[in-house]
Homo-oligomer: A and B are copies of this chain.
Amino acid sequence: MPGGFVVLKVKAEKKLGSMVFSFDLELPFGITAVLGPSGSGKSTLLKLVAGILEPEEGEIKLKEQVFFRKAPQEKKHYSLPPYKRRIGYVSQNYGLFPHLNVEQNITFGVQGNKPTVPVTKMLDWMRLSGLGKRRIHQLSGGQQQRVALARALMTGPSLLLLDEPFSALDNLVKNKLRQDLMGIHRELELPIIFVTHNLDDAMVLGDYIVIIDEGRVLQIGRKQDVFSRPNSIQTAKLLGVRNFIHGMVTGHDAVKERMFIDWDGKKLAVPWAEGVQLGQKVTYGIRGENINVVKTNQNQQLEPELTTNLFSAQIVDTVQGLMGYRLVLSFAHTSRKMEIIVSNAGYERHVKGKKEIQVIFEPQFLCLLR
């Protein structure tokens, strides 16, 4: 659980059809990205906090304010109606009002004619200038998404819940909006929780990450911690880890900095981990970006401890990606293939034209998945 003062506490049981959701999380002040497979319950979590859905039991609290409380056996429950929760909520389908134009939609939640920001400025921010008088159905998908975001921001909420707020936006507008949101977050001290499938969004915008699967919280923590130390294969996969090493612990070094595992007959140095016993089966994950190609003439210079983790690999497949090349490698000792990402420059210099390369698995990038 991330440290700091708990801003939002959710402990809720909810049934939807045959799905049973059981959320339990506490979040400190910051921007939280909610990640999880499609259908895992991310939207449900936001709806519970917004008050659109009501748990069967549990407690939901924003700072000192109780949103919902019901003990398991009690019949009575307390529930703050959604319109008193002061929450800015953008649903996955936007929920725009078809009978109002863009401006009217944006100012819909404004109380007493005092918008926190003038409408024209908000339209400008959202790159919607000139569209104020349009009806919703006359907008493109991304324009609609921005109207929904603007509308939620205009009410001056004390918590922002965004369900995939950038899914229909191009990178330029998205970058700008992410900047703006970060500014708003800091200036107004507004906690933000957003659902996303885009790891980049989570990384750039999030302070914390919550991983949800099958209606449960799988992992929660600071983004660096979660990204670098996913606690399960499922989480790791979700976070873009494509390479997994299954092995058995065979020993460790004297200062307890490294352990060694048997990886299909080869020895591999991994970071030392508390509580792992000799002979135990373990799985490690590593991102393609973190498997480095060794320069042709570099191996002599390598620190000795790294030579353990040096492997020869055949290049099975090469795909040019946006920010470099994606290589699929096969190894002599194991049937599992690995995917690595090499920068354009690195590819040009050290890979191009070769059939076999040497790669290095630096222990620090190998992450134990329990």
A residues sitting closer than 8 Å to B (CB atoms) are 16-17, 35-39, 42-43, 92-93, 127, 134, 138-143, 145-146, 163-164, 167-174, 197-200, 202-204, 224, 227, 237-240, 287, 289-290, 292, 319-324, 341, 343-345, 348, 362, 364-365
Residues of B within 8 A of A341 (CB): 323
Minimum CB distance partner of A345 in chain B: B292
Residues of B within 8 A of A321 (CB): 200, 203-204
Instruction: Give bound CA distance, A344 to B365, whole Å.
Output: 9
Residues of B within 8 A of A93 (CB): 93, 141
A38 touches which of B38, B92, B170, B200 (Cβ 8 Å): B170
**Do B203 and A38 touch (CB < 8 A)?**
no
Residues of B within 8 A of A324 (CB): 289
**Do A362 and B343 touch (CB < 8 A)?**
no
Measured between C-beta atoms, what is the minimum distance from A136 to chain B in Å?
12
**Do A345 and B290 touch (CB < 8 A)?**
yes
**Do B170 and A203 touch (CB < 8 A)?**
no
Tallying the copies of this chain within the complex gives: 2
A289 touches which of B164, B239, B319, B323 (Cβ 8 Å): B323
Instruction: Give bound CA distance, A198 to B170, whole Å.
Output: 8
Minimum CB distance partner of A288 in chain B: B323
Residues of B within 8 A of A139 (CB): 39
Further 16 A-B residue pairs, CB within 8 A, beyond A38-B127, A345-B365: A17-B134, A35-B170, A38-B141, A43-B140, A93-B141, A164-B167, A170-B238, A171-B238, A171-B240, A204-B319, A289-B323, A289-B343, A289-B344, A290-B344, A345-B362, A348-B364
Residues of B within 8 A of A92 (CB): 141, 168
**Do B38 and A140 touch (CB < 8 A)?**
yes
Q: Which 10 A-B pairs have the closest CB atoms?
A: A38-B142, A289-B323, A167-B167, A92-B141, A203-B322, A39-B140, A37-B170, A170-B197, A199-B322, A292-B345
